[in-house]
Structure 1
Amino acid sequence: MTRTVYVNGEYLPETEAKVSIFDRGFLMADGVYEVTTVLDGKLIDFDGHAKRLARSLNELEMKHPVTEEELLAIHRKLVEVNEVEEGLVYLQVTRGAADRDFAYPKDAEPTLVLFTQKKQAVNSPAAKTGISVISLPDIRWGRRDIKTVQLLYPSMGKMAAKAQGADDAWLVEDGFVTEGTSNNAYIVKDGVIITRNLGNEILHGITRAAVLRFAAEAQIKIEERPFTIEEAKAADEAFVTSATTFVLPVTKIDGEAVGTGQVGPIAARLREIYLEESRKTAV
């Protein structure tokens, strides 16, 4: 079945969707995006994604194409017409089409594109076995807190990991882990969750915020600070979080087992709590 997608106010078959070759998202990577998870046909953490989108747009001095209420309606319609029970809604806003120039155009109207993708993540085998990661230098630009479409280096990192027989990469800057290629990174030592504190160096993960809130409610101690790869290898557990993988255990780093090399109890429990609580507030 051909998907229905959204492009600048229109719902179209994906085969008929078009964006200008002069769009700055295509020419300059001048755009931002969000990915919202769909479970049981409902949206998870939509409010958080909408607020982060607004922040990204504001940081780049980009126009808001629609209101938050309109955005929710678009998400819901796409989920309904494409019959998505489990998967995601991808959203992208660019500065719009204009003659190529490094300076921001004054009169361009933003381009807004959304599409759905069916994807099973709740019963992912990796949740039971854990994933392996390698470490790579973090050479991305300095404003990783803005969720831009500049994703070439994360893609390169993912491919470098696959070339070494691993699943993903953790990026390292000035000796400390920043984050994964498309997720926030954590370790657990002596029952304490350790994850990098928020700043321009990492994405302010919506799933990260929810998981840390649930961990605090479960009386699990949390330390928000940088950690090294060596510290991670010596940890009892490790895991990552993202909208599309929830809480995913990491059982191997640079070929070395983390803890017992098996999925740890804290990561497993946080995944259960996140899925249970998120479903309660889904829209």
Structure 2
Amino acid sequence: MAYSLWNDRIVADEEIVVNKEDRGYQFGDGIYEVVKVYNGELFTAEEHVDRFYASAEKIRLTIPYTKDKLHQLLHELVEANNLGTGHIYFQITRGATPRNHIFPGLDVPPVLSGSAKENPRPVANFESGVKATFVDDIRWLRCDIKSLNLLGAVLAKQEAHEKGCYEAILHRDGTITEGSSSNIYGIKDGVLYTHPANNLILNGITRAVILKCAAEIGLPVKEEAFTTTEALEMDELIVSSTTSEVTPIIEVDGTVIGSGQPGEWTRKLQVQFDTKIPTGIRS
């Protein structure tokens, strides 16, 4: 039996009923997070929860639970599902009320929900690399908020999928921002480049881990945007996210990146990232 998070309880999936008037369903009025679980242990949960509360503040949504309570619920969700290696998804919406663009009153409680999914690390992608495609970044200008409004990202990811690619590399007039569900990095002459963490990208939690790993292995970092033209001339390209970790991009729109194989610095980052993974309480 699968269990989910529903407000302040862990319940069987069949107990959950979503109100058709929920603002998340009607407006995408809410925020979410995805946290990786390795061997039964949440990875970077504190950072994800902190970002969850930061996103909520940016859309003026008050979470009716303390961070400690939310951490407790997330751990209970992992335990209830006996989750080994996979991830948990959780979101909060502004609640259920008759449809109106204006915020509801304080008497309408937000709705918190979450689920767990077992899935292995994508080791084949780490070893062989993936293909990507350039797609215009048509999203709104507050990509720093991890909101439920993901239609722009969905359209980009679908375009990549139809081209046989793993990810869409988004750009605004030729300047790369991030992936449809990831952060993007280029390595040139022993320097790692990535778009600065501003309103045009989501400051990924895995991104922060990778930048720390880079410092630890002696790879200089420049948080500077680079162009689609420059991307094709990089020695190495990387895509990262909670589920992608450190994944090399070996081809973009038919152009081979570097040698067409995962590069030396990418391999070093992968090895260093592995040192951060919890050994866990179960395999």
Aligned to 2:7: 8
Q: Residue 59 of structure 1 aligns with which residue?
A: 58
Contact 1:65 1:111 in 2 (8 A): no
Determine the C-alpha separation between the residues in 2 that align with 1:270 and 1:116: 28
Superposed, which structure 2 residues align to 1:139-158 within 5 Å? 139-158=138-157
**1:278 offset after TM fit, Å?**
3.6
- Supply the distance in 2 between the matched residues of 1:24 and 1:104 (Cα, whole angstroms): 9
Letter of the 1:259 partner, please give it. Answer: G
Letter in 1 for 2:30: G
Structure 2 distance, partners of 1:229, 1:181, is 15
- Per-residue CA deviations over 1:80-103 (Å, capped at 9, x if unaligned) read 121111000101010111111111
The DSSP-based 3-state class of the residue aligned with 1:209 is helix
* In 2, Cα distance between equivalents of 1:280 and 1:32: 30
Answer whether contact 1:65 1:112 (CA < 8 A) is retained. Answer: no
Does 1:259 find its partner at 2:258? Answer: yes
Counterpart residue number, 1:203: 202
| 8 Å Cα contact 1:44/1:281 also seen in 2 | no
Q: Which amino acid aligns with 2:180?
A: T
Partner letter of residue 251 of structure 1?
A: I
- Provide runs of 4+ in structure 1 moved above 4 Å: none
Amino acid at match of 2:8: G
* C-alpha deviation, 1:280, in angstroms: 7.0
RMSD, aligned CA: 1.4
Per the TM alignment, residue 246 of structure 1 is displaced from its structure 2 partner at its CA by 0.9
Which whole-Å CA distance do the structure 1 matches of 2:70 and 2:10 have between them?
13
- Aligned partners of 2:47, 2:53: CA distance in 1, in Å? 10
1:205 Cα offset (Å): 0.6
Match of 1:68 in 2: 67
Cα deviations by residue, 1:132-161 (Å, 9 ceiling, x for unpaired) = 110011000110000001112211111111
1:73 & 1:23 partners in 2: Cα distance? 25
Which residue does 1:41 correspond to in 2? 40
Shift of 1:274: 1.3
- Within 2, Cα distance between the matches of 1:74 and 1:167? 33
Percent identity over paired residues: 34
8 A contact 1:45–1:278 mirrored in 2: no
* Whole-angstrom distance in 2 between the partners of 1:66 and 1:140: 30
CA shift, 1:238, in A, is 0.4
Cα separation, 2, equivalents of 1:124 and 1:280: 17
C-alpha displacement at 1:281, in angstroms? Answer: 10
1:41-77 CA deviation, whole Å, 9 max, x = no partner?
0000011101100110000000113111111111111
Q: Aligned equivalents of 1:138 and 1:193: distance in 2?
A: 22
Cα distance in structure 1, aligned partners of 2:278 and 2:103 = 41
In structure 2, C-alpha distance between the alignment counterparts of 1:280 and 1:266, rounded to whole Å: 24
- The answer to whether 1:127 aligns with 2:126 is yes
Structure 2 partner of 1:113: 113
2:25 match: 26
Q: What TM-score results when the alignment is normalised by the length of structure 2?
A: 0.96
Question: Which whole-Å deviations, capped at 9, do the CAs of 1:155-197 have from their partners, x for residues lacking one?
Answer: 1111111211211110110320010010000010011100001
* Aligned match of 1:180: 179
Paired residue secondary structure (2:276): helix
Q: Say which SS state the counterpart of residue 125 (structure 1) adopts.
A: helix
Deviations 1:191-240 (A, max 9, x none): 11000011100001111011101211221111111101111111100001
Q: Is the 8 A contact 2:55 2:146 kept in 1?
A: yes
- Gaps (5+ residues) in structure 1? none
How far apart in 2 are the matches of 1:80 and 1:272?
28
For 2:116, what is the secondary structure of its paired residue? strand
One-letter code aligned to 2:124: P
Letter in 2 for 1:252: E
Query: Contact 2:213 / 2:272 at 8 angstroms: preserved in 1?
Result: yes
What letter matches 1:55 in structure 2?
A: A
Report the Cα distance in structure 2 between the residues aligned to 1:281 and 1:139, rounded to whole angstroms.
Answer: 40
What is the TM-score of this pair, normalised by structure 1? 0.96
Structure 1 residue 272: Cα displacement: 1.9
